[in-house]
Amino acid sequence: MGCCNRRCGLIAGAVFGALVAILGGILIPVGNSIVEETVNKEAVIENGTTAYDNWVSVGAPMYREFYFFDVQNPEEIVNGSVPVVKEKGPYTYRVRYLPKDNIEPHPNHTVSYRLPLGAIFEPSRSVGSEDDIVTTLNLFLVGGLSTLEGMAWLPGLNKAPLFQRRTVKKLLWGYRSGSDVEIGLFSPYNGTYDGNYTIFTGKDDISKVGMIYKYKGERSLSFWNNTYCDMINGTDASSFTPFVDKTKPLYFFSSDICRSVSADYTESLDLLGIEVYRFSLMPKILAAPVENPENYCFCKDEKVYRNYTLGGVMDISPCEGRPVYISLPHFLHGSASLREDVQGLNPIEAKHSTFLDVEPTTGFTLRFAKRLQVNMMYKSSKKIPALNKVRDYTIFPILWVNEMASMDDETAEMLKKELFSRIEILDIVQKVLLGVGVSVFALCLIGYCVVRRRDSQSKIA
């Protein structure tokens, strides 16, 4: 009778272990479904969700570092020499410190808003004051060249020097020229807005959350006169669809460069204890049209682009209204001729590339660095004395910008507590149940076999 009880107990234990293991196995897809449902619910941009709270708030401090290219040989350049520049910076400003305003939800599961623009100088993060002097191109002269070509004439243009010495503050935020024209690389800025934006909330389709529906009331841009180049794709880069697939590029629109771009996965990193996927801007984005035919519609002047073989720069004058060319800092990934035309440049991938660090479960961008260089183009001209002897079609670097932000410790702890801790607990429960169940089943099955063998031997003896 005792042997029978032992066998029955071991069989019951094996059955129990099997049931526990099965429960653990069942919890894996059920748990994943719970996690997915919870994340998708909290990722919707709707009042009361985690995504909405993060979206509305200012978030982590955002800074813009400005690095100027101080001209070392202005007089020689006017007489045909190769320009020599020296980097000077950073001059750092706190930006995006004001929350979104004019937030207005719409019945079609979209919401519109504006981004207030402002900049506060941060002396502790800068190499000097806003009153530091920089030698650079005369913005009035170079900016007026396009006006001159349009058969208009700005008073004083033919007497203006090619280079000027101005303070950091005036170059960035504006000054009055000799003809009383307001000039500045980012003027006007303080007190202005970026937008309106209208984005999808993801309420009806989570795959569209954060994607831009309209910019300034329009479904597409009007700068490039081309359906492809005028498309507005992706989000504003602050977040993406949850459960990010690192095998697929992320698309986002940047008003700074008047176009949509994509970023590709490059590596996984640890950010304050949270795994993030790093997506970086690839060389193809600004590649020469002969290498990437998708860029033909961004390149308007065949002479500037040297029969479409010049890569690494993009003419944004159609939306800026002046001869501004955007590139990566120090012409990173650009044609060698760009760095040969201007000496003193040294592109470094780690320092000058643009990247987004995205948390793959939520799709939130937790750290980023948007690095862009502002260049202007000048060419020789018989009408303007300062341009009589200069090298033709020179794309000249003015400054480069590093706009950056990173999740702080408080946000990291909130994410770990509110989301990742629950996922981890569920994962632990699944593994424990599966492990205990398999162990109990195996031990009971072995025990049953041992007891049965002994019983058989006892009967023979």
| pLDDT recorded at residue 150 | 45
| pLDDT recorded at residue 153 | 53
Question: In terms of C-beta density within 10 A (0-12 exposed, 13-18 middle, 19 or more buried), how is residue 123 classed?
Answer: exposed
| pLDDT recorded at residue 385 | 87
Please tell me the distance from the alpha carbon of residue 278 to that of residue 202, in angstroms, as a whole number: 24
Reported as type and span, the H/E element at residue 187 is: none
Provide DSSP, 376-421. EEE---SSSGGGSSSPSSEEEEEEEEEEEEE--HHHHHHHIIIIIH
pLDDT in tens, the chain (461 residues): 455 555 565 455 545 544 444 554 554 554 456 566 777 888 899 998 888 888 888 778 999 999 999 999 999 999 999 999 999 999 999 999 999 999 999 999 999 999 999 999 999 999 999 999 999 999 988 887 765 554 445 567 778 899 999 999 999 999 987 667 788 999 899 999 998 999 999 999 999 999 999 999 999 999 999 999 999 999 999 999 999 999 999 999 999 999 999 999 999 999 999 999 999 999 999 999 999 999 999 998 888 899 999 999 999 989 887 889 999 999 999 999 999 999 999 999 999 999 999 999 989 999 999 999 999 999 888 888 888 999 988 999 999 999 999 998 888 887 777 665 555 545 555 554 455 445 544 555 565 565 566 666 565 55
Q: What are the residue boundaries of the structural domains of the chain, listed by start?
A: 11-39+420-460, 61-97+119-190+220-407
Question: In terms of C-beta density within 10 A (0-12 exposed, 13-18 middle, 19 or more buried), how is residue 442 classed?
Answer: middle
| pLDDT recorded at residue 409 | 87
Q: Which residues contact 104 (CB under 8 A, 6 or more apart)?
A: 111, 112, 113
Q: How many CB atoms within 10 Å of residue 386?
A: 20
31 with 366: CB under 8 angstroms?
A: no
Helix (H, G, I), strand (E, B) or coil at 2: helix
- Amino acid at site 169: K
| pLDDT recorded at residue 137 | 96
| pLDDT recorded at residue 20 | 44
Please tell me the distance from the alpha carbon of residue 356 to that of residue 107, in angstroms, as a whole number: 31
